[in-house]
């Protein structure tokens, strides 16, 4: 099937137009030709119709084909345009071709016109096909460029010399450098301070000698603007030319900084959990050490009468109780449990901390304490507040090895509503701890509250101090800020919400005159001999008959030997051979109504006293005072058992 061409013919000679049409038909070129002889008709027909080819005489009345060509090319750059003229001349022919004519054919050589038309139409078809291919490639390139620019990973292409040929938008964002400053540079030029960059370049060269890929699981770079270290997962592969030889490197990097932080947080959580499990065991042993000390102090206080000795006993008792409180705080930190809270004023704690510092810190440190009398009250844990201030003051001391000044200030303040602050508006008690020490390096500031991070030498810091401080402050619905300049000093600012209380409630005074026993027989079970003897001595001095056992199995034997006379059992919950839990369960199978009081120096995984929820018996936490032991035992003896 032959192709039919639609032709617009600008010709002032009707005879020539007919001759050309007949010659085309005679040569098998099917055509539909419109002949016009004026400029206006030529462009009117061209605008209203679609033509495959333009034929044009060069010499026209008042007009010429070159002018028509120039005007036509302003409208259409693609349509073939062939001059068919009697005598165009060599100069005109060259100018016509430069202007955009496809070909020219002299009228006395019309036999060449069919082949000229066929060649022009074939070239047009080829151009059209090439244009379609180019448009498809351009569309594909636009699509790929769109992907490259929007993909959430850094993508770079480098040549054999390491020069960067392509860098996408994510690369700009991750590096903090515009692409025009990246293209043409090497990574060494971009990261001159990276000590490992040369090794990376050497490793890259292996990709040009057969290595299929290179994976860097923790590639690091420093952001040019923020100075923050970013962690990357980088994969590099070679790109191959038409001969199958590697000639460029494609580098794809994902920012895994947040993922690394999550992994570190998980590891920290596991470490804290392990510390909690370890702390629970240590707490049991430490409480067993402190418990007899506190009981001995009370017994000695009853026997001593001279004032100096009583004061010394009081000092030892306070120290033991503070040690017990610290053990509870360690457990609370590790287990994340709530502790006893009340309304208090920070002034008394600050003054107590000042007293400890002056007694224990180097004399080369000067102190300045500023606390107004009208300082607001805080609802919280007094021991934890003491721990916060002591941790900050110890850090301040360590930051001033050659002496300096330590300032503690407290004031009432208000945080106003602000769109740029993450602090809740309201009334606060603001406490600042300032030292004139060595300061904290700026690169370490983001890490100081992380668990186990410390700048101190091995053996001089656990890395838990500031993380504990922040944990306590946050648990009190407060905030902590830090400002530090090297060789000038550091200031920690603590914000605690103020309460509406006008005064601090006083602790209920201890009631003297503990009720005496009435000859009840008590079976006391504890694997700590000192504790066992002290409890026995205490109970006997208050009118009880006491039987003792060093573990659960011995207690069972003693119970069956004296079960008719035993009124209650006082037992430790953690013992070798048979612990208190098994002991209670065994005895209750024989006597479900037996009165039992448990003792424990540790807590379970929930932070609650061990076995309270399992056995339903009261638990007396170690260390305890003589009064706590006696009053709790009397409550147990008076309890009606169902």
pLDDT tens-digit series, residues 362-419: 999 999 999 998 899 999 988 788 889 998 999 999 999 999 999 999 999 999 887 6
How many domains would you assign to the chain?
4
- For residue range 575-616, list pLDDT tens digits in order: 888 988 899 999 989 898 899 999 887 654 344 445 454 577
Kindly state the average pLDDT of the residues 427-435.
95
Residue-wise burial string across 374-399, b where 16 or more C-beta atoms lie within 10 A, e elsewhere: ebbbbbbbbbbbbbbbbbbbebbbbb
The dihedral region occupied by 79, where left means phi > 0, alpha psi between -120 and 50, and beta the remainder, is beta
Question: Do residues 493 and 451 share a domain?
Answer: yes
| pLDDT at residue 40 in the model | 92
- What is the CA 314 to chain-centroid distance, rounded? 48
Question: Do residues 465 and 405 share a domain?
Answer: yes
- Residue that is written with structure tokens 């103020």 in the block: 498
Question: Do residues 250 and 274 share a domain?
Answer: no
Question: Do residues 426 and 526 share a domain?
Answer: no
Question: Do residues 42 and 72 share a domain?
Answer: yes
- Residue that is written with structure tokens 């690394």 in the block: 260
Residue 279's contacts (CB-CB under 8 Å, 6 or more residues apart) are 330, 331, 334
| pLDDT at residue 507 in the model | 43
- Residue that is written with structure tokens 């379970």 in the block: 604
Q: In the chain, what percentage of residues exceed pLDDT 90?
A: 36
| pLDDT at residue 616 in the model | 78
Contact 522, 546 (CB under 8 A): yes
Q: Residue 80: which domain range? A: 4-128
Residue 94's contacts (CB-CB under 8 Å, 6 or more residues apart) are none
- Residue that is written with structure tokens 């929820």 in the block: 613
- What is the CA 347 to chain-centroid distance, rounded? 37
- CATH number of 454's domain: 3.30.565.10
131 vs 125: CA distance, rounded Å: 10
Question: Do residues 193 and 247 share a domain?
Answer: yes
Question: Do residues 558 and 615 share a domain?
Answer: yes
In 151-248, alpha helices (H): 169-175, 187-190, 197-205
Question: Do residues 527 and 404 share a domain?
Answer: no
Q: Tell which wins on pLDDT, 342 or 323.
A: 342
From start to end of 498-594, where are the E strands?
Answer: 521-525, 545-549, 566-572
| pLDDT at residue 359 in the model | 83
Residue 299's contacts (CB-CB under 8 Å, 6 or more residues apart) are 534, 537, 538, 626
- 606 assigned to some structural domain: yes
- 602 assigned to some structural domain: yes
Domain boundary among 255, 285, 303: 255
Residue count of the chain: 642
**pTM beyond 0.75:** no
pLDDT of residue 273 exceeding 70: no
In 361-450, alpha helices (H): 382-398
| pLDDT at residue 187 in the model | 81
Taking the alpha carbons of 600, 602, 605, 606 in that order, is the dihedral positive or negative?
positive
Domain boundary among 475, 497, 519: 497
Mean pLDDT is lowest, of 31-45, 387-401, 500-514, for 500-514
- Residue that is written with structure tokens 């009064």 in the block: 627
Contact 341, 305 (CB under 8 A): no
- CATH number of 96's domain: 3.40.50.2300
Question: Do residues 198 and 78 share a domain?
Answer: no
């Amino acid at each position: 099937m032959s192709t039919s061409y639609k032709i617009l013919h600008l010709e002032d000679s009707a005879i020539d137009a007919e001759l050309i049409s007949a010659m085309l038909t005679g040569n098998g070129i099917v055509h539909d030709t419109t002949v016009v002889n004026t400029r206006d008709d030529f462009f009117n027909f061209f605008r209203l119709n679609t033509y495959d080819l333009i034929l044009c005489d060069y010499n026209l009345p008042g007009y010429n084909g070159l002018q028509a060509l120039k005007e036509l090319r302003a409208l259409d750059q693609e349509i073939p345009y062939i001059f068919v003229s009697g005598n165009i001349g060599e100069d005109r022919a060259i100018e016509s071709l430069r202007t955009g004519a496809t070909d020219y054919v002299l009228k006395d050589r019309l036999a060449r016109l069919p082949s000229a038309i066929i060649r022009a139409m074939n070239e047009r078809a080829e151009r059209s096909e090439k244009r379609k291919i180019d448009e498809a490639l351009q569309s594909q390139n636009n699509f790929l460029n769109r992907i490259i620019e929007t993909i959430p990973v850094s993508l770079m292409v480098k040549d054999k010399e390491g020069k960067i040929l392509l860098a996408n938008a994510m690369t700009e964002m991750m590096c903090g450098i515009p692409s025009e400053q990246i293209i043409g540079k090497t990574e060494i030029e971009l990261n001159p301070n990276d000590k490992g960059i040369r090794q990376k370049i050497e490793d890259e060269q292996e990709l040009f000698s057969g290595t299929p890929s290179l994976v860097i699981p923790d590639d690091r770079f420093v952001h040019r603007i923020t100075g923050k270290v970013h962690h990357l997962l980088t994969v590099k592969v070679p790109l191959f030319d038409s001969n199958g030889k590697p000639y460029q490197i494609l580098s794809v990097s994902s920012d895994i900084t947040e993922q690394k932080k999550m992994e570190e947080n998980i590891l920290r959580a596991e470490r804290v959990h392990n510390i909690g499990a370890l702390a629970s065991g240590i707490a049991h042993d430490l409480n067993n050490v402190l418990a007899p000390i506190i009981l001995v102090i009370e017994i000695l206080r009853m026997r001593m009468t001279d004032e100096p000795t009583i004061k010394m006993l009081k000092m030892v008792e306070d120290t033991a109780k503070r040690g017990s409180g610290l053990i509870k705080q360690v457990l609370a930190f590790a287990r994340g449990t709530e502790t006893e809270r009340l309304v208090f004023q920070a002034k008394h704690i600050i003054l107590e901390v000042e007293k400890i510092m002056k007694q224990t810190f180097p004399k080369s440190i000067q102190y300045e304490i500023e606390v107004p009398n009208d300082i607001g009250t805080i609802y919280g844990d007094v021991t934890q507040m003491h721990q916060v201030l002591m941790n900050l003051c110890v850090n301040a001391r360590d930051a001033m090895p050659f002496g300096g000044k330590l300032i503690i200030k407290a004031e009432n303040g208000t945080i106003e509503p602000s769109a740029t602050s993450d602090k809740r508006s309201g009334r606060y008690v603001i406490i600042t701890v300032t030292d004139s020490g060595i300061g904290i390096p700026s690169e370490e500031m983001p890490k100081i509250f992380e668990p186990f991070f410390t700048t101190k030498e091995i053996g001089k810091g656990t890395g838990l101090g500031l993380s504990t401080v922040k944990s306590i402050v946050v648990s009190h619905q407060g905030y902590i800020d830090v400002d530090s300049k090297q060789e000038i000093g550091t200031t920690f600012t603590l914000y605690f919400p103020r309460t509406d209380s006008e005064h601090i409630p006083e602790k209920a005074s201890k009631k003297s005159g503990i009720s005496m026993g009435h000859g009840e027989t008590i079976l006391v079970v504890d694997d700590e001999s000192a504790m066992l003897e002290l409890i026995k001595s205490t109970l006997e001095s208050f009118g009880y008959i006491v039987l003792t056992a060093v573990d659960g199995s011995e207690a069972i034997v003693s119970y069956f030997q004296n079960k008719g006379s035993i009124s209650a059992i006082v037992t430790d919950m953690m013992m070798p051979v048979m612990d208190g839990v098994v002991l209670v369960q065994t005895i209750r199978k024989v006597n479900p109504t037996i009165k039992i009081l448990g003792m424990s120096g540790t807590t379970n995984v929930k932070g609650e006293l061990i076995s309270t929820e399992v056995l339903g018996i009261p638990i007396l936490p170690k260390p305890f005072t003589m009064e706590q032991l006696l009053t709790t035992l009397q409550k147990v003896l008076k309890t009606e058992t169902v």
